[in-house]
Amino acid sequence: MYSNLLFPKIPPIIQLREYQQEAIRNWFRNNCQGLLEMATGTGKTITALSAASKLYEVTKRLGVVIVCPYIHLVDQWVTDIRLFNMSPIVAYQSRNLWEESLFNEVSAFQSGLMNHFCVITTISTFTSDSMQNILKVLSNDVVFIADEAHHLGAKRNRECLIPTIPYRLALSATPNRWHDEEGTDELIEYFGNSIVFQYGLEKAIGEFLTEYYYYPHIVYLDEDESEYYYEVTKKIARMSFLKESIDENESLQSLLIERARIIGRARNKIVLLKELMQDRTDSKYNIVYCGDSKNDGEKQINSVVKMLGYDLDMNVHTFTSREDKEKRQELLKMFEDGDLQVLVAIKCLDEGVDVPATQTAYILASSTNPREFIQRRGRVLRKHKNKKYSYIHDFIVVPRPLGEIDNVEPALFNTERNLIKRELVRFIEFADLAINGPLAHEKLNQLKHAYQLLDI
């Protein structure tokens, strides 16, 4: 016997903000299809569940399929889904835990025995044969909600999107897939060919996110790092005249990756971090973002933990894929309570992990991927009762001291200039919205002047 008392319903304690109502209206105007581009911390989950609830008011029956990229995101959604009068089938890990229940509920929904079902799953499980075989029969009165939807743009994931589901809602702070125009276009096309609503950081900061101070730091390569960087860059310059694209030329791809690693693992990042933290050994609520490369045989994340924990005697712990769900929850509670001073992460804090107590972020990881740096900034800007402002320290690596740039040969100068130009895009964006924007820009202007980039 199936209950008809469970269906999507906005709870009385939820009062939608005006911009959330506008997002829902725009989605309905686009035939209940579309993508919401909303900054971290602006209530994407509540907006999506409210949209589904309002759709149910119209259709009087509704299946809800929700897909997230990670298990921790699924777990966060479940709490809100239950608040909206739904009892979701949580589908990840072993299919023995969910397959029979989902099959029965979908069958009952399709035959009219029940007016509602809800399943929430990870992309990995959604794209599995067992899940696809159950869901592919769905057509009328079903809404498909994708959180951090850009992940579904990968070719294998796109092929699993179900064309017969009529209502589609995508959520992402950063919908464009980096270096994947085709994936971005096909994904947006599936979700109604439209970004129906945008609510960026510039609107959210000060109202729903904290204001922040931004400190860009210029870091130079050591002599041996600089020499190796020079060697790799010369090889890249020679190969750049080939007619093949980067994607077709594996050797060129390898060289570009190796050069990015040289920048990512620069030793002086650790040196500078130590200088910045020496006077802050009693501070709390710090996050350090590391790269995943090694230097001198040791991973950067381990070097950071050793330096902070042993040299500066701070209470620090890694936050990576190695920690299981229970351990992560324990670490986040210790961090929230102030018992753990520093979390050192690679990518696990990029999407969906809420750490609102964070006050200061140190970004050692060099990334020109807009999604990554926007997510990292969003993590530290979430509001918290003990926080008035946030502070972001960002490390930009330059191959050589600025005073030596005039002596560099033209071909190498142009290559370095292009690299710095790509990096500066994120630094300028961070500086533009910061409380101390003019001072941050002043620091960046030294770099722009040295590399003749004053026009950006």
What contacts 188, CB < 8 A, 6 or more positions away?
35, 175, 194, 195
Q: Which residues of 309-329 are buried (b: 16+ CB within 10 A; e: fewer)?
A: beebebebbbbbeeeeeeebe
pLDDT, residue 263, reads 85
Instruction: Please name the CATH architecture into which domain 211-450 falls.
Output: 3-Layer(aba) Sandwich (3.40)
By 3-state DSSP, what share of the chain in percent is helix, strand and coil, each rounded to 5? 50, 20, 35
Q: Are 68 and 88 in contact (CB under 8 A)?
A: no
Q: In the chain, which residues fall in CATH 3.40.50.300?
A: 18-199, 211-450
Please report, in tens digits, the pLDDT of each residue of the chain (456 residues total).
556 788 999 999 999 999 999 999 999 999 999 999 998 778 999 999 999 999 999 999 999 999 999 888 898 899 999 999 999 999 998 889 999 999 999 999 999 999 999 999 999 999 999 999 999 999 999 999 999 888 887 888 989 999 999 999 999 877 566 556 776 788 889 999 889 999 988 888 888 889 999 999 999 998 888 888 888 888 887 776 655 544 556 788 788 888 888 888 889 999 999 999 999 999 999 999 888 777 778 889 999 999 999 999 999 999 877 777 788 889 889 999 999 999 998 865 545 566 788 899 999 986 656 556 666 777 788 888 888 999 999 998 888 888 888 888 887 788 788 878 877 887 888 899 999 999 999 988 988 888 888 887
The pTM is what?
Answer: 0.82
Give the DSSP letter of residue 311. I
Interhelix angle 325-337/71-83, rounded to 10 degrees, is 70
Most distant pair of Cα atoms in the chain: their distance:
80
Instruction: Please name the CATH architecture into which domain 18-199 falls.
Output: 3-Layer(aba) Sandwich (3.40)
